Amino acid sequence: MTQQHLTLESGHLSLESVLDIPDSNDKVPGVVLCHPDPRYGGDMDNDIVVRTARDLASAGIAALRFNTRGVGNSDGEFDRGNGETDDMLSAVNMLEVHEKIDPSRIGVFGYSFGASVALQTAGESSVVKAVASVSCPATIFRVLGSIEMLQPKLFVMGDKDHNFPVEQFRFLTKRYSEPREVSVVTGADHHFRGIESIVGEMTADFFIRRLTGDQAG
């Protein structure tokens, strides 16, 4: 695997990012990852984001994680999801033109606040071919169900999530169009502490099937 530290341009802002690229002579699929709410310490070095990026790269899929505006060394200020969606769209565009990435096989992943950004990005970009959402907050998850998203979708939540009752989660996922996959992890709370590997493995499996397997496209 090769790791590149890149500057991501989002409008007039420069954002810091890290791209993990599997060793391959061919172009590989790529996934952009978005971190949790920075107001509560979320950044691209979040345990779930890093673990998922590593599992993707091990599965032969490039992983681009980045700090949204105002986080770490990235320019700008927090924008409650609107500007952050622009940031993620810019990250998707970066992958699309990268010499090592197959532009026809790009996905997005988000955890918590980042999940809402990933879902909004998928709704706005035809480049995105699959989207994975982990622990998306209930309020925004309800709203985003009204946005047309035809891409394959993975929805993951712990059954001990403090702000999202399981039955409400299952009900709201039905507002999203097919194809969709829903997974409730027994014993996991919103943070998946100590079991980050479950998220990484589940996400990698989803993107392997949707971006590299028979179901890709």
Tell me the percentage of the chain whose pLDDT exceeds 90. 96
**pLDDT tier, 214 (very low <50, low <70, confident <90, very high otherwise):** very low
Please tell us whether the domain made up of 2-212 is placed in CATH 3.30.1550.10. Answer: no
What is the predicted pLDDT for the residue at 217? Answer: 44
Residue 42 has pLDDT above 80, yes or no: yes
Residue 173 has pLDDT above 80, yes or no: yes
What is the predicted pLDDT for the residue at 51? Answer: 97
- Given a contact cutoff of 8 angstroms between Cβ atoms, the answer to whether 167 and 194 are in contact is no
**pLDDT tier, 99 (very low <50, low <70, confident <90, very high otherwise):** very high
What pTM was computed for the model? 0.96
Residue 181 has pLDDT above 60, yes or no: yes
Domain boundaries, the chain: 2-212
What is the predicted pLDDT for the residue at 70? Answer: 98
- Given a contact cutoff of 8 angstroms between Cβ atoms, the answer to whether 106 and 29 are in contact is yes
Mean pLDDT of 77-103: 97
Distance (Å, whole) CA 213 – CA 129: 13
Give the residue carrying structure tokens 């950004």: 117
What is the predicted pLDDT for the residue at 216? Answer: 47
Mean residue pLDDT across the chain: 96
Q: Which residues are registered as beta bridge partners of 3?
A: 20
- Given a contact cutoff of 8 angstroms between Cβ atoms, the answer to whether 84 and 34 are in contact is yes
